Amino acid sequence: MSALEDFLAGLKAAAEPTRLRLAALLSHGELTVTELTEILGQSQPRVSRHLKLMVEAGLLERIKEGTWAFYRLARGEPTAQLARTLLALLPAEDPGLALDRSRLARIKTARAAAAAAYFRENAQYWDEIRRLYADECEVEAALSRAAGSERRIDEFLDIGTGTGKILALFAPVVGHGVGIDLSREMLALARANLEAAGHSNCEVRLGDMYGLPLADRSVDAAVLHQVLHYADDPAAVIREAARVLRPDGRLMIADFAPHELEYLREEHAHRRLGFSDDEVDSWFIAAGLVPSTPERVPGAPLTVVVWAADRPEPVLGRRHGSRSEARAS
């Protein structure tokens, strides 16, 4: 089809009340058919048909993951821009859309409460649970390599610090480290662990990974270690992490490659069953970061991947010999 025909197909796919409601909901992040069905109060087959039409028209993307499928607004294509333009024109005060947002908020609140309960119940066993999936020593070594021995880290940020294990790993090589977590139980453990190890250059704070209590461009390096698979909106987490990076700062993510262990959703509160390199790179790029080559740490049965990306320095005043320049040369 021509570009004009694609545009008209997108308009036709969006020109229906339920589909506009779906697009409005998905502008707030990824959701499953079950969640969308609950919010809209419609049957799953009907919602699925609407979603299928919108995916075919290029308005939405569908990500299959085990027995679940996530939907989100498409990115990059002309029809994806069309969806965002139409959403900007919707009346924010519309009662139906307001009710949808209220129901979405309840779902997210319930989901967050379930995750918090899991963290609360397992805080003291957290490091042991992590060791079930991959060799943590190898993962930590990969993170250290990703940070780079030539990179000066005055300000270091550990997002979702848990028991403070990664903060403690980097404590000897950073000027000042901050760990952020939404679980008070985790923070209590992290404080105790850091104090026992004598890491007086590190502290932990209560905070949300979607709204970090830090200023723009205030850290040299940030880490998301086994955190992203709990996120409702991984892209938003990466955008927020990118916000606080200084020019030539680096973001590192350690998480699972795609897998099909469904029990991790029910028993361990995982939202996503791993991530592909292309998916993570697309989030990096959308956040204004430059991805580098990831490193894999094979496990049984799960593989951990360490992804890294840099915030480019401004063209004027860029330091000679920076990592971003080295990759471009």
Helix axes 17-26, 33-40, angle to 10 degrees: 120
pLDDT score, position 25: 93
Calpha distance 38→26 (Å, rounded) = 14
Domain final residue, candidates 42, 65, 90:
90
| Statement to judge: residues 165 and 36 lie in one domain | no
Q: Are the C-beta atoms of 175 and 195 separated by less than 8 Å?
A: no
Residues 36-53 as b/e (b if ≥16 CB within 10 A, e otherwise) read bbbbbeeeeeebeebbeb
- pLDDT the model gives residue 324: 40
| Residue scoring higher pLDDT (72 or 77) | 72
CATH number at residue 180: 3.40.50.150
Q: Reply yes or no on whether the pLDDT at 40 is more than 70.
A: yes
Q: Which two tokens stand for residue 19?
A: 């589909």
Answer yes or no: do 257 and 204 share one domain: yes
Smallest CA-to-CA distance from 98 within 157, 39, 170 is with: 39
Please say whether the dihedral angle defined by the alpha carbons of residues 233, 234, 239 and 245, taken in this order, is positive or negative: positive
- Split at pLDDT 50, 70, 90, the class of 128 is low
Assess if residue 110 is contained within a domain.
Answer: no
97 falls within a domain? no
Could you tell me the two tokens for 310? 């840099």
Q: Which amino acid is at 15?
A: A
The last residue of a domain, from among 90, 109, 133: 90
Q: How confident is the model at residue 41 (pLDDT cuts 50, 70, 90)?
A: very high
Q: How confident is the model at residue 119 (pLDDT cuts 50, 70, 90)?
A: low
206 and 273 in a single domain? The answer is yes
Q: Are residues 196 and 311 in the same domain?
A: yes
Three-class DSSP category at 311: coil
- The CATH number assigned to the domain holding 49 equals 1.10.10.10
Q: Confirm whether 142 is domain-assigned.
A: yes
Of 237 and 299, more confident:
237
Are 138 and 85 found together in one domain? Answer: no
- Both 70 and 154 in one domain: the answer is no
Question: Which of 57-66, 211-220, 305-314 shows the lowest per-residue confidence on average (mean pLDDT)?
Answer: 57-66
Q: Of 31-40, 122-131, 207-216, 242-251, which range is least confident?
A: 122-131
Judged by average pLDDT, the poorest of 56-60, 132-136, 210-214, 284-288 is: 132-136
pTM of the full predicted structure?
0.68
How many domains are there within the chain?
2
Residue 233 falls within a domain, yes or no? yes
Residue 238: name the closest of 250, 82, 116 by CA: 250
Q: Phi then psi for 286, rounded to 5 degrees?
A: -65, -25
Please tell me whether residues 175 and 226 are part of one structural domain: yes
Q: Based on the domain organization, do 143 and 69 belong to the same domain?
A: no
Contact 65, 234 (CB under 8 A): no
Write out the two tokens for 48: 């699925």
Residue 80 belongs to what domain range? 3-90
Statement to judge: residues 39 and 83 lie in one domain: yes
| Position 38 in a domain | yes
Q: Rounded to the nearest 5°, which phi and psi values hold at 304?
A: -100, 135
Residue 251's pLDDT is 98
CB atoms within 10 A of CB 96: 13
pLDDT at 323 over 90: no
Q: Does residue 86 sit in the same domain as residue 146? A: no
Is there a single domain that holds both residue 193 and residue 321?
Answer: yes
Take residue 31 and report the two structure tokens written for it. Answer: 């959701």
Range 295-321 average pLDDT? 81
- Answer whether residue 273 is part of any domain: yes
pLDDT tens digit sequence for 8-17 = 878 888 889 9
Indicate the pLDDT class of residue 18, thresholds 50, 70 and 90: very high
> 31, 66, 90 — which closes off a domain?
90
On whether residue 70 sits in a domain, the answer given is yes
Is residue 104, in this structure, part of any structural domain at all?
no
Mean pLDDT of 131-160: 89
- The pLDDT tens digits for 231-272 are 989 999 999 999 999 999 999 999 999 998 898 888 888 899
